[in-house]
Amino acid sequence: EDAAILARFQERIDAEERIEPNDFMPAAYRKTLIRQISQHAHSEIVGMLPEGNWITRAPSLRRKAALLAKVQDECGHGLYLYAAAETLGVSREELIDQLLSGKAKYSSIFNYPTLSWADIGAIGWLVDGAAIMNQIPLCRCSYGPYARAMIRVCKEESFHQRQGYEIMLALVRGSEAQREMAQDALNRWWWPCLMMFGPPDADSRHSEASTRWKIKRFSNDELRQKFVDATVPQARYLGLTIPDPDLRFNEETGHWDYGAIDWEEFRQVIAGNGPCNADRMAARRKAHEDGAWVREAACAHAAKSRVRAAA
């Protein structure tokens, strides 16, 4: 790649111009976008599983309807994101193969179990809350198709976050057992949610390039801090305790200082050794195999339509 062309590309990024699929882009920019967008798509698809687990056990028709809608939204997000990745010249089959063969990553958070109904509240409140914190800046990402996909995704995530918080509110206003269930869910989801933002900045291998290319607008640690600052008052309003004895408001910085994250747990989960990795992959593989007839029928129908159109 010619130095002048690369410099011209960086000038366009610096001028906040959007990069579109047919524009020149450095191979490394394309590669990191395919990596990030496809990991994001896989996360949405695998992310349907922990909550899907509670659709048949939602405590009321209203809760069930909201949860169904939310899980369907996640499927839609996955599909937009696969489509955005496809604009970079990779096929959906390839991406799905990478997921099913265990080569592609998806968010660490979806490898934890949903043990009680309160987990559905905690996921909406915390997991979707963290997702929004990370995704709002992606609406201004330099790659047009990804940035545009994020706008609708963020609107829907915001509904997901509210439905989760509202479940938590109902539980803390309920019986003592319900309040305990809400606290237990917060205890289990808090630390994995902080890990969602990725490794500390010093260990984040892609951050330097992604920031230069304006794919990333904030670092992993900056977003993690914003999330903690936003969530502490919400936990207080619920009357719940964040499971971190070192959590303290720092008058000097104006931020909440938090305790040490167990990065060994994070490494284990992304290496495939989290509590539910094997289950999640088995469920995805089964869904893919069970859906083979639909893909075959759609291809057969498309082939027939082509013949008919040509006749």
Nearer to ligand ACO, 212 or 301 (CB): 212
Q: Looking at beta carbons only, is 205 or 308 nearer to ligand ACO?
A: 205
In the complex, minimum distance from the CB of residue 114 to ligand ACO, in angstroms, rounded to a whole number: 14
Work out whether 145 is an interface residue with ligand ACO (CB under 6 A).
no
The answer to the question of residue 161 lying near ligand ACO (CB under 6 A) is no
- Tell me how far, at minimum, the Cβ of 231 lies from ligand ACO, in Å: 15
Closest to 46 (Cα-Cα) out of 104, 117, 129: 104
* Touching ligand ACO, residues 38-57 (CB under 6 A): 39-40, 43-44, 47
Cα–Cα dist 152/158, whole Å: 10
Query: Which DSSP symbol is given to 250?
Result: E
Sign of the alpha-carbon torsion through 107, 108, 111, 115: negative
3-state secondary structure of 21: coil
**Contact mark string toward ligand ACO, 195..234, x via CB under 6 A:** xxxxx----xxxx--x---------x--------------
Q: Is 277 in the site for ligand ACO (CB under 6 A)?
A: no
Q: Which member of 49, 120, 123, 131 binds ligand ACO (CB under 6 A)? A: 131
Report yes or no: 220 and 198 within 8 Å, Cβ to Cβ: yes
> CA–CA separation, 34 vs 89, rounded Å?
9
Calpha distance 36→125 (Å, rounded): 24
Decide whether 116 or 210 has the Cβ nearer to ligand ACO.
Answer: 210
Judged by CB, which is closer to ligand ACO: 141, or 172?
141
| Least distance from ligand ACO to the Cβ atom of residue 77, Å | 7
Distance CA 80, CA 41 (A): 8
Is residue 98 near ligand ACO by the rule CB under 6 A? no
What are the two backbone dihedrals, phi and then psi, of residue 101, each rounded to the nearest 5 degrees? -85, 0
What angle (nearest 5°) sits at the alpha carbon of residue 184, between those of residues 257 and 124? Answer: 75
Q: How far apart are CA 35 and CA 152, in angstroms?
A: 21
181 touching ligand ACO, by CB under 6 A: no
Q: Report the nearest approach of ligand ACO to the CB of residue 30 (Å).
A: 14
Interacting residues with ligand ACO (CB under 6 A): 35-36, 39-40, 43-44, 47, 105, 107-108, 131, 134, 195-199, 204-207, 210, 220, 270
